[in-house]
């Protein structure tokens, strides 16, 4: 047997759900009521535009007032008002939106209304019951001769509705919504609290909103204007209004698109000196000038979350509570659009004002690298304007740098070896040695640079990166013209043994190498791959590498066969050779800031002895 029918809903059961649970935050009741008042005002303006309303518009301010004694909050507008019939239709029917109906009805004759009207779900009004034990509506329609309608409801499914003339009638067109605040919602009777809510959500609504005799909003915020109407000062002032006491922004992008989706806004590049200052959740999302959230995840690409500013789009699909967004195709397109705009802006700055761009690089470099690493499309554009800086502070684009080092820094298998330092101070002796060889050294000390290096090695052809202390200078870039060793094989073995014994440390692998006589007598290095593995292990990357436990430190100790000191070590009597070897080794440790504790004390003492003996 088959039965067909329609599912029924018990209003008594669903009503509390709407009231209490649909909206996570109680404070949004004010946003909803003020939005309705603004909608009512904009609808009237729309009717006037179309000639359907011929009366005087008069003053159109929305007023919010609070009476703490009487425990009342009132939201009043001079909008189009409602007759008793209309209240029945729009208010008594939950989830029937007069806003949507209006937009649909006038879409041919007033397209503007579609972009302005805020309401869409027909639920917002009921959020009032989150804070009120009773709500009254007093409304007078804009249509001549309609009596004032008075509606009351105590939050149950029962309501009263009457038409009043005479004493209680409203003199003017419009609607007053009166909330009798519930006992558990005292906080909303505080002026400061209400003001806080209004400035959070309603600061940029398009109709003036008055609270405490003061207009709290800007009806035409700058993002709704055309870029051509605005000066740099306007942008900077707006920034400072959004983020008081912050340093002026570096530059900004005015977003303005209406096809295939509607999006306006201004994104600012903040001045950031170090990564600790980077603050997320600094972009505010609006929909039709109503504040929605400052969590713009999904809408704004991850790497641009560090930007500041405002985005306004009626096309971002909101859920009923307007409290979170739904990630869908439209959101993805918006995300891509923003990425493209940012890349274009950077490319333009680079092209038009290279010097200014270089000066800003310390602030924007992090964004750019983050973007390249996280977004392939952004990478494609940014590879032409990402900059690298050498230790002398000169900036290059990647193609410029490749050309700059190509002649001198190719190894025998025609790989270009890019040398870099992560700490020019600590690695000074290596930087110096490389520079003495005529090599250039990049400063890649930023927080994302190890990832950036990895990406560059994948993308750039025939190019490898080596940290300056990854090897002795002669081996960093292996060439055919390596200097010959002056030592015999026998001497080399003897020398190795003396050093091994003097150092007596398993993690130090001694080898004799033919460096130039001007190079240091001993050089301690950590091979590039070993250091990278250790870095990965430290930062938790590298997949299953943890399984193998901590990697031991494994340094290479290169003894310079051509340095005069090796002759002295080989020629020394008794313990003298070992002492000299240890001294040379300690000097190498010292050059790298690795000489510490007991070893350092011993070194100082030995040095004094040697000086005294000399």
Ligand X SMILES: Nc1ncnc2c1ncn2[C@@H]1O[C@H](COP(=O)(O)OP(=O)(O)OP(=O)(O)O)[C@@H](O)[C@H]1O
Task: State the residues that interact with ligand X by CB under 6 A.
Answer: 32, 36-37, 40, 77, 79, 82, 90-91, 97-99, 119-125, 175
Residue number with CB closer to ligand X (123 or 202):
123
Q: How far is the CB of 83 from ligand X (least distance, A)?
A: 10
Mark the binding-site residues, compressed into ranges: 32, 36, 77, 82, 97-98, 120-125, 175, 322
Q: How far is the CB of 29 from ligand X (least distance, A)?
A: 10
The DSSP bridge partners found for residue 441 are: 419
Residue number with CB closer to ligand X (121 or 159):
121
Mark the binding-site residues for ATP, compressed into ranges: 32, 36, 77, 82, 97-98, 120-125, 175, 322
How far apart, in whole angstroms, are the C-alpha atoms of residue 158 and residue 399? 74
The full DSSP string for 213-259 is TEE---SS-GGGS-GGG--HHHHHHHHHHHSTTPPPPSEEEEEEE-S
How far apart, in whole angstroms, are the C-alpha atoms of residue 5 and residue 20? 30
The DSSP bridge partners found for residue 152 are: 136, 160
Is residue 288 within 8 Å of residue 312, measured between CB atoms?
Answer: yes
Is residue 287 within 8 Å of residue 249, measured between CB atoms?
Answer: no
Q: How far is the CB of 459 from ligand X (least distance, A)?
A: 47
Q: How far is the CB of 77 from ligand X (least distance, A)?
A: 5
Give the SS3 label for residue 263. strand
**Alpha-helical segments (H) within 423-563:** 428-436, 449-459, 473-476, 489-503, 528-538
Residue number with CB closer to ligand X (102 or 378):
102
Q: How far is the CB of 37 from ligand X (least distance, A)?
A: 5
- Cβ neighbors of 319 (< 8 A, separation 6 or more) are 325, 326
Residue number with CB closer to ligand X (97 or 416):
97
Q: How far is the CB of 174 from ligand X (least distance, A)?
A: 7
Residue number with CB closer to ligand X (82 or 113):
82
Residue number with CB closer to ligand X (79 or 521):
79
In this structure, what token pair is assigned to residue 222?
């700058």
Q: How far is the CB of 43 from ligand X (least distance, A)?
A: 7
Q: Could you identify the residue written with the tokens 């400072």?
A: 240
- Cβ neighbors of 421 (< 8 A, separation 6 or more) are 391, 427, 430, 431, 441, 442, 443, 444, 445, 467, 468, 469
Q: In what order do the strands lie in the sheet with 508-513?
A: 508-513, 555-560, 522-525
Within the chain, what is the greatest distance between any pair of CA atoms?
122
Residue number with CB closer to ligand X (90 or 238):
90
């Amino acid at each position: 047997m088959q039965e067909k029918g329609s599912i029924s809903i018990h209003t008594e059961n669903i009503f509390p759900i709407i009231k209490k649970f649909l909206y996570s935050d109680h404070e949004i009741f004010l946003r909803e009521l003020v939005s309705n008042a603004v909608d009512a005002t904009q609808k009237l303006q729309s009717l006037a535009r179309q000639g359907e309303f011929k009366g005087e518009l008069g003053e159109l301010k929305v007023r919010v007032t609070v009476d703490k004694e009487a425990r009342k909050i009132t939201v009043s507008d001079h909008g189009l008002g409602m007759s008793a019939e209309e209240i029945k239709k729009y208010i008594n029917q939950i989830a029937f939106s007069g806003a949507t109906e209006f937009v649909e009805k006038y879409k041919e004759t007033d397209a503007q209304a579609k972009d302005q009207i805020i309401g869409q779900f027909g639920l917002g009004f009921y959020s009032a019951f989150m804070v009120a034990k009773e709500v009254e509506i007093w409304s007078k329609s804009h249509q001549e001769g309609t009596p004032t309608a008075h509606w009351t409801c105590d939050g149950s499914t029962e309501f009263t509705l009457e038409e009043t003339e005479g004493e209680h009638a409203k003199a003017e067109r419009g609607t007053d919504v009166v909330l009798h605040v519930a006992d558990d919602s005292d906080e909303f009777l505080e002026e400061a609290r209400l003001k806080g809510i209004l400035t959070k959500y309603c600061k940029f609504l398009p109709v003036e909103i008055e609270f405490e005799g003061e207009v709290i909003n800007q009806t035409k915020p700058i993002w709704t204007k055309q870029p051509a109407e605005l000066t740099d000062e306007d942008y900077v002032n707006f920034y400072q209004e959004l983020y008081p006491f912050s340093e002026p922004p570096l530059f900004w992008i005015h977003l303005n698109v209406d096809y295939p989706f509607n999006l306006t806004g201004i994104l600012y590049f903040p001045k950031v000196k170090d990564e600790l200052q980077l603050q997320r959740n600094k972009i505010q999302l609006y929909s039709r000038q109503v504040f929605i959230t400052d969590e713009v995840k999904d809408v704004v690409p991850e790497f641009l979350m560090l930007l500041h500013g405002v985005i306004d789009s009626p096309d971002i699909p909101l859920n009923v509570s307007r409290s979170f967004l739904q990630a869908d195709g439209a959101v993805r397109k918006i995300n891509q659009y923003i990425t493209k705009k940012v890349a274009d802006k950077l490319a333009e700055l680079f092209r038009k004002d290279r010097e200014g761009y270089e000066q800003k690089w310390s602030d924007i470099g992090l964004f750019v690298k983050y973007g390249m690493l996280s977004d392939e499309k952004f990478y494609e554009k940014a590879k032409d304007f990402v900059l690298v800086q050498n230790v002398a502070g000169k900036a290059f684009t990647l193609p410029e740098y490749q050309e700059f080092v190509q002649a001198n820094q190719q190894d025998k298998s025609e790989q270009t070896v890019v040398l870099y330092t992560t700490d020019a101070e600590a690695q000074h002796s290596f930087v110096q040695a490389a520079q003495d060889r005529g090599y250039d050294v990049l400063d890649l000390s930023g927080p994302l640079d190890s990832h950036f290096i990895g990406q560059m090695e994948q993308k750039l052809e025939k190019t490898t990166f080596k940290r300056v202390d990854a090897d002795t200078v002669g081996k960093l870039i292996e060439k055919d013209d390596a200097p010959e060793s002056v030592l015999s094989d026998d001497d080399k073995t003897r020398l190795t043994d003396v050093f091994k014994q003097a150092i007596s440390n398993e993690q130090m692998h001694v080898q004799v190498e033919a460096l130039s006589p001007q190079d240091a007598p001993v050089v301690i290095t950590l091979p590039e791959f070993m250091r990278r593995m250790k870095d990965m292990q430290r930062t938790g990357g590298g997949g299953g590498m943890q399984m193998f436990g901590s990697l031991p430190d494994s340094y290479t100790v290169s003894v310079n066969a051509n340095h005069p000191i090796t002759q002295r070590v080989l020629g020394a009597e008794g313990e003298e050779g070992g002492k000299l070897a240890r001294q040379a080794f300690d000097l190498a440790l010292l050059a790298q800031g690795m000489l510490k504790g007991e070893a350092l004390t011993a070194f100082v003492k030995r040095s004094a002895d040697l000086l005294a003996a000399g």
